[in-house]
Chain A
Amino acid sequence: MIVHAPVRIGPAEQALIGQLGARGATAAAERLQAIGLPTRKVESYHYTDLKMLLRAVPELAVTMPAISEPALRIEGAHRIPMVNGKADISGAMPPGMTATTAKGSSLTERDDVLVRLNSALATETLKVEIRSRATQVVHIDRRSEGGAAHVNDSVHLFVADGSKATVIETFSGTDEAHVSNHASYVAVGKGAELTHILLDLSAAAATSFATAEYHLGAEAKLRTIAIHVGPGLSRFNLFARHEGEGAHGDFTGLNLVTEGQHSDITLEVTHAVRRCSSKPLFKQIARGRSTAAFQGKIVVARDAQKTDAKLMMQGLMLSDEAQIYSKPELEIFADDVVCGHGSTTGALDEESMFYLMSRGIPQAQAESMLVRGFIEEVLDPIEDEELHLALEGVVERWLGGN
């Protein structure tokens, strides 16, 4: 590593360096001291200059009971509360499912500041293992409670061979300027099917980071949905790896930003083996003065012949002051593959608006019908009816907050 000049260290970095040092993560502390938080010059943070956007980092979170209400109630779901990094696994678990805790973070080492921070600062991982085809939805209710705190929490989810599950993780908490850095490690076994949802409902004052890494076994079927509606500053890191032949991933997301918000979803899907497919579909809607950014990269390794991958980003601008960024990328080292990407961004279609209004539907209602229609493609595949309804409610509330 070449360091050209000493980096100016701001208050947020200073706080992080202190916290890393206090936890004995000397290497991570030194690294941060040397290079600082990523600026727009770092390609993977090009649209989210953390050095500029992250102004302060509060004290590390302490263990405490849940104070706030669950941000989302899903009828019939099994809920595991997790407050400031500590999961409550005292209740009975659904058949075929176990929950335990382990020390440290669940993430694999990676050259990413959020991964390094979580790896050094998360003290405990909630480990959930599902060995059944039960239909009950599992809700991991991750919260940042109390006064403003820096929370690092971690989940390890394993869906065993041939099993089938739907797991939603929500991020929420008190209405404080928390900095939460969440980690999820998700492994989908051979022929297993998983729908995995990350829903960020944190307060507008909060900053939220979430890294999820996905490992797909042979013939596994994974659908992921990352939804941003809450925090003022947000970044999703999604890293997926097809490791067994014939695996399929539908990586999807809704990046909904409003006045004063900045939210970034960065996805990297690696096809490591033959005959896998992936269909990333991300939709971004921005209104007010806000920024939504999506970076999506599909990497096809040399051995990953017969890969079928199609990445799509669609952006909808609801205000002239909003900004939507989109950077789709393909990196292909195999020669017998079908890969594509597309990206479109625009305002609501005027012809559609005129058509709906010409039938007597008032402007505001026509707009919200079109926005709902735009979003529905992402929510529609959710099989569980109650979960589908709950997520539609989330979107509805976001729309209502116009």
Chain B
Amino acid sequence: MTTPMLEIRNLHARIEDRDILKGVNLIVPAGQVHAVMGRNGSGKSTLSYVLAGKEDYEVTEGEVLLDGEDILGLDPSERAAKGLFLAFQYPVEVPGVATMTFLKAAINAQRKSRGEPEQTTPDFMRAVKDAGRDLHIDQDMLKRALNVGFSGGEKKRAEILQMALLKPKMCVLDETDSGLDIDALKVVSDGVNALRDPYRSMLVITHYQRLLNHIVPDVVHVFSDGRVVESGGKELALELEAKGYASFDEAAA
């Protein structure tokens, strides 16, 4: 059996004294797109933060293997360098740091950690321009401070631009559809779909089925009360939409 891209085994995590993840088991094989659906407060966003290594959360039990390697002991930058990428639900505004400076620093930090030479400025500029064009990103936007004054749609497109430039092998998209109108949703989804690749996996976290019309998953997992309660094909998302999350709560009980 080939190594899955992401394997989550019996993951428990808490913030302060509150248990949020209560035994998550999930396997995403290489090249597949999996969706995690669940209502607000079910722990979906916590899962994305714990995967990325946010400090506020304490993992009390379990393992997370990225391409066969346990990443729970790594800090967020080391996880990113190993190919993990989290597209934030609420990208953080960072005043004083120009978007271009940030992109270059991120690309080169990752290259450095892999022992690759730095990207030359012309190559970098070209890569940004090419990726930006597909995502309808205005070059002027990239001269501004990172995410500062970006509209909701601009922030989400900037996340996907980063994903395109950093070429991660495991992408976690946290509520990428939130705050997007139909047109912006299409641009963002097209951007994500363009990055589908046999060597790249994705975990798409959402509580609406509508995103999954655009980014069609191979597998859908239903998340409730801090764990996966049901998994199935893409039709599971439609079933959720029709029946609501309540019908799955029993499975969790």
Separation of A369 and B55 alpha carbons in the complex (Å): 20
CB neighbours (8 Å) of A375 from chain B are 96
The stretch that binds A, out of B60-68, B87-95, B175-183, is B87-95
CB neighbours (8 Å) of A377 from chain B are 95-96
A365 x B86 contact (CB < 8 A): no
- Whether, in the assembled complex, B238 has its beta carbon less than 8 Å from a beta carbon of chain A, the answer is no
> In the complex, what residue of chain A is closest to B82 when comparing beta carbons?
A360
B94 x A361 contact (CB < 8 A): no
Q: Which 7 A-B pairs have the closest CB atoms?
A: A373-B96, A360-B80, A359-B106, A355-B92, A357-B76, A360-B110, A357-B77
A359 x B162 contact (CB < 8 A): yes
Known: A360-B106, A373-B145. A354 touches B55 (CB 8 A): yes
CB neighbours (8 Å) of A10 from chain B are none
Question: Shortest CB–CB separation between residue A238 and chain B, in angstroms?
Answer: 24
Within 8 Å by CB of A360, from B54, B88, B91, B109, lies B109
- Tier of interface size on chain B: 20 to 34
CB neighbours (8 Å) of A358 from chain B are 52-53, 76-77, 79-80, 85-86, 88
- Whether, in the assembled complex, B97 has its beta carbon less than 8 Å from a beta carbon of chain A, the answer is yes
Separation of A370 and B162 alpha carbons in the complex (Å): 19
Q: Can you list 17 residue pairs at the A/B interface with Cβ under 8 Å?
A: A354-B52, A354-B55, A354-B76, A355-B88, A358-B53, A358-B80, A361-B77, A361-B105, A362-B113, A365-B109, A369-B101, A370-B94, A372-B96, A373-B94, A374-B96, A376-B96, A377-B95
CB neighbours (8 Å) of B211 from chain A are none
- Whether, in the assembled complex, B75 has its beta carbon less than 8 Å from a beta carbon of chain A, the answer is yes
- Whether, in the assembled complex, B102 has its beta carbon less than 8 Å from a beta carbon of chain A, the answer is yes
Separation of A355 and B85 alpha carbons in the complex (Å): 11
Write the residues of chain B forming the contact surface with A, with a CB cutoff of 8 angstroms: 52-55, 75-77, 79-81, 85-86, 88, 91-92, 94-97, 101-102, 105-106, 109-110, 113, 145, 162, 166
> In the complex, what residue of chain B is closest to A366 when comparing beta carbons?
B77
Separation of A320 and B38 alpha carbons in the complex (Å): 41
CB neighbours (8 Å) of A352 from chain B are 92, 94
Known: A350-B55, A365-B109. A360 touches B77 (CB 8 A): yes
Separation of A358 and B162 alpha carbons in the complex (Å): 11
Q: What is the interface size of chain A, counting residues whose CB is below 8 A from a CB of the partner?
A: 23
> In the complex, what residue of chain B is closest to A380 when comparing beta carbons?
B96
CB neighbours (8 Å) of B91 from chain A are 355
Separation of A376 and B148 alpha carbons in the complex (Å): 15
> In the complex, what residue of chain B is closest to A359 when comparing beta carbons?
B106
Known interface pairs A354-B92, A358-B76, A358-B79; 10 further A-B residue pairs with C-beta atoms within 8 A, sorted by A's residue number: A352-B92, A358-B80, A359-B85, A359-B102, A359-B162, A359-B166, A360-B80, A360-B166, A366-B77, A372-B96
- Whether, in the assembled complex, A363 has its beta carbon less than 8 Å from a beta carbon of chain B, the answer is yes
CB neighbours (8 Å) of B80 from chain A are 357-360
- Whether, in the assembled complex, A351 has its beta carbon less than 8 Å from a beta carbon of chain B, the answer is yes
In chain A, residues 356-393, which have Cβ atoms closer than 8 Å to a Cβ of chain B?
A: 356-363, 365-366, 369-370, 372-377
Question: Shortest CB–CB separation between residue A357 and chain B, in angstroms?
Answer: 4
Separation of A370 and B93 alpha carbons in the complex (Å): 12
Separation of A86 and B169 alpha carbons in the complex (Å): 65
Known: A366-B77, A369-B105. A360 touches B113 (CB 8 A): yes
Separation of A361 and B162 alpha carbons in the complex (Å): 13
Cβ contacts A201-214/B at 8 Å (1 or 0 each): 00000000000000
Known: A354-B54, A370-B94. A363 touches B77 (CB 8 A): yes
B96 x A356 contact (CB < 8 A): no
Cβ contacts A149-160/B at 8 Å (1 or 0 each): 000000000000
